[in-house]
Structure formats: C-alpha cells, structure tokens
Structure 1
Amino acid sequence: MDLEFIMNIFPTLLKTLPLTIYIVVVTAILGFLLAVIVTAIRLKKIPVISQLMDLYTSFMRSTPGLIHIFVVYYGLPVLFRAIGIDINFISRVTFSITALVLYNGAFVSEILRPSYLAVPSQQHEAATSVGMTNWQKHIRVIFPQVLPIALPSLGNALIDLLKDTSLLFLIGLVDIMGQADIIIANTLGVYQLEVYVTIALIYWGCSILLEQVIRFLEKKTGKYLR
C-alpha cells in the first residue's frame, strides 16, 4: 500500500466530485418529482395508467441499474433514429441523469406510497371536516406527516443513488470512477489497490455527510409526528 501515491491522486479524484454531486442532486430532485407523480397515480387507482405504473415500478426495482444505463444510453438514440430524430448530440451527463431518474423514481415511489398510507385516515377526515380543500389538506396536514416517516428510507435511497453513479464510467463519463479508471490505465494497473481504496474513502465520506443531513432533517420534521 503506497500511502504517498494515495495522497498524490486524492486531489485529482476530488476534482471530479462536483460532477458526481451535480448528477446526484439533479437526479434526486427529478426522481422525487417522478416518484410523487407515480405514487399519486397508483394511490388514485386510475384505470390502465395505474397498472402501467405498477408494471414500471416492478420492472425497475427487479432489474440492475446498469441495464437501465445501457438501455437509455445505447437504446434511446436507436429508438429516436427510427422516427427520424437524431439525439446523439445529447451529452453523457444527460443520458446518465435520465437513466438514474427512471431507476431512482421507482424506488422512491415504493417509499412514498407506504409512508402516505401510514398516515391515519382520521387525519384526512379531520382536515376535511374543518373545511380544508384537498390541496390544503395535503400541504398542511398530510405531507408534513409523510415526510418524517419516509425520511430514513429516502436517506438510504439517496446513498444508494450516490453509489449508483459509480457505474456511469462504463458509458465513458469521467466522474470519480471514470477518473480512477484513467489513473489505473496510466499506471498500467500497478496501483489499482491504492486507487480503489481512495475511491472508497471518498464515497464513504460523502455517505457520512448525507447521513448527517438526513438525521438533521429527521430532528426538524419529527415535531410533526409528535
């Protein structure tokens, strides 16, 4: 184990961290919005569309994320070319975010749905009885109770999303893992162990930071359950 080599490559790998963080943040936001839509459709049991959403979540949750990355990156250009649209100008980052949003949205939907159902029906009835509209009821009463219930699982999903970004180097994206692959190639594989240990430390540090943020949010939102 060459500690000096680890110290030398650490700044190089950290330079690509902003790209990884950008992908995680954008994917988390868009994936959450997608999950809210999917959850709402499934809860309302809209004919046909609800069954399609069930099929979507089942497929996404039952297949590896790597497959979705490959299908989006290699499959979408072929699909659009068949209808006369060229999307090869789209960046790898956009393809990566698209694949991760579709994948992450299914998992987050399975977190939001049981969290929503965990709120007692009396809460819905009480809000309606005081004259709240459906929108007011959800914003003021239901969602503040859903959030603290869902937060621990949402935190785990966010950490899983961070780890899923390590697969993106397989489509040529130069993020942390992509830069690590370049370093390994330039050193002819001599320092593979050192590179992977460094990568592990970076991901570990990011995961610890995310855990602290989620715990802070849990404390802030816990009052709504009390």
Structure 2
Amino acid sequence: MEMNTTELLLALLKALPINILIIIMSAALGFLFAIVLTILRIKRIPVFSQIADLYVSFARSVPGLILLFIAYFGIPEILTLIGLNSVDVSPMHAAIISMGFYHSGYISEIFRPAYLSVDKSQHEAADSLGYTPTQKFFRIILPQMIPVALPGYGNGLVYLIHDTSLIFAIGIVDIMGTAELFISRSYGTNQIFIYFVIAFMFSAMCFTADSLVRKLEKKTSF
C-alpha cells in the first residue's frame, strides 16, 4: 500500500499531544517524588533513608521498559489484592506512573549533590538570623541549589523524552505507535523515512526542553 506523506504527518502531529502530556505529567510526578527522596536521603531518617537509597539504586539500574511493564501489569494486580479491583488503570496512567517514578530516581541524584553543594556556613548564617527551616530553604538554600541542579535536570528531561518512545509497547497510540501502524500498512517499505520523521520530532522536543532549561539557567546564574 502506498503511503500518503501528508496523512502520515497529520497523524503524527495528532498523536504528539499524547507524548507531551505524558512527559509533563511524568516530569511533575518525578519532580515531587524526587524531593521526598532527597529529603529522606539528606536527613538520614532511620529505615526510610535506607529505603530511599535502595529505591534510587533500583530506579537507576532497571530499564525503563521493564518498569513500564511492571506498572502496566502489576498495578491492577496490587489494586485487586487490596480490594480496589474496580479502579481502572489505563495504559496512560501506567505510563505516567512508571515514567514518573523512573525519572525521580535520576532527579534525586541531581538534587542531593546540589543541596550538599551549599556551604555549611550558609546554613549557620540562616540559623543565626532566626530563619525557620522553610524560610532558610526558600530564601538561602534553594537560590544556590538551582544553578547547580539545572544542567543535570535538563539532561534528565531529555532522557525522559527519550523514554516516552517506549510507551507504545503497552498499547498507547503515541507518535511511535502511530509510526508503527503506518509501517505495517506500507509493509515496511517506508520505514526509514518514517523513522527519520520520528527522530526529527523527538529532536525538536529535546531541543525545546533544553532551550527552556538554558534560559532558566541564565536567569538564575549569579
């Protein structure tokens, strides 16, 4: 079957918001959970800090595709065991959860050294001025953490964008899933062209994310 290039491009653009939504939601989930992990690891809370260390090691060593399958097939099983089998877990939910928690392991490894890079004298100065822990963090610590963490965080976003190329494996018709449908329809005769188009789309997303992070770096640099 002859492939219609215009039809392909329109179909890919129509599927693109799915990837963007999963990237945004996974990045937000990963960011929030990374903060929790970082706090537990820095404060060295007994038991919890060891669990956080183990989780970060697990998330960074297991392939994203495996975590995607674990979330997709495992979450319904867990919900059934606790009596919540009526709760629907869609492929989108599974993708956001798995990608978010996978992402958090990497981001925690960026946040922790950024926090530790702040000189102890800064903490002592804030304490001597009577700052509460919240005031100390947002007024003194965070402004110094951000320039250190941003380059690594930008890389983490790029890796997350790359990982969304896997979500078609659980039945999500994103840009990669759409590409595979067109390749099947054309019996593989146009797959090189299609993959080049997909490569360009992922490159554009990565370039956009990287540009936004670089602009933020310039605004927060001392």
Taking structure 1 as the reference length, the TM-score comes to 0.93
The ranges of structure 1 where at least 4 consecutive aligned residues each deviate by more than 3 angstroms after the TM superposition are 4-8
Report if aligned partners of 1:5, 1:194 keep a CA contact under 8 Å in 2: no
Number of aligned positions between the proteins: 221
Greater shift, 164-173 or 15-24, is seen at 15-24
Percent of aligned positions that are identical: 43
| Deviations, residues 198-221 of structure 1 (Å, cap 9, x unaligned) | 000001111111111111000001
**How far is 1:180 from its partner?**
0.8
Greater shift, 122-131 or 152-161, is seen at 122-131
Distance in 2 of aligned mates of 1:137 and 1:175: 43
Report if aligned partners of 2:79, 2:87 keep a CA contact under 8 Å in 1: no
Report if aligned partners of 2:29, 2:101 keep a CA contact under 8 Å in 1: no
Determine the structure 2 residue equivalent to 1:42: 41
Distance in 2 of aligned mates of 1:84 and 1:186: 42
| Deviations, residues 84-142 of structure 1 (Å, cap 9, x unaligned) | 32156222111110101110111100110011001111111111111211110000010
SS in structure 1 at match of 2:221: helix
Report if aligned partners of 1:27, 1:97 keep a CA contact under 8 Å in 2: yes
Determine the structure 2 residue equivalent to 1:153: 152
The answer for unaligned runs of 5 or more in structure 1 is: none
Report if aligned partners of 1:6, 1:194 keep a CA contact under 8 Å in 2: no
1:1-226 paired onto structure 2 within 5 Å = 6=5, 8-86=7-85, 89-223=88-222
Distance in 1 of aligned mates of 2:122 and 2:10: 52
Distance in 1 of aligned mates of 2:88 and 2:210: 37
The answer for unaligned runs of 5 or more in structure 2 is: none
Distance in 2 of aligned mates of 1:206 and 1:197: 14
The residue type equivalent to 2:90 in the other structure is: S
Distance in 2 of aligned mates of 1:141 and 1:83: 44
Distance in 2 of aligned mates of 1:51 and 1:32: 20
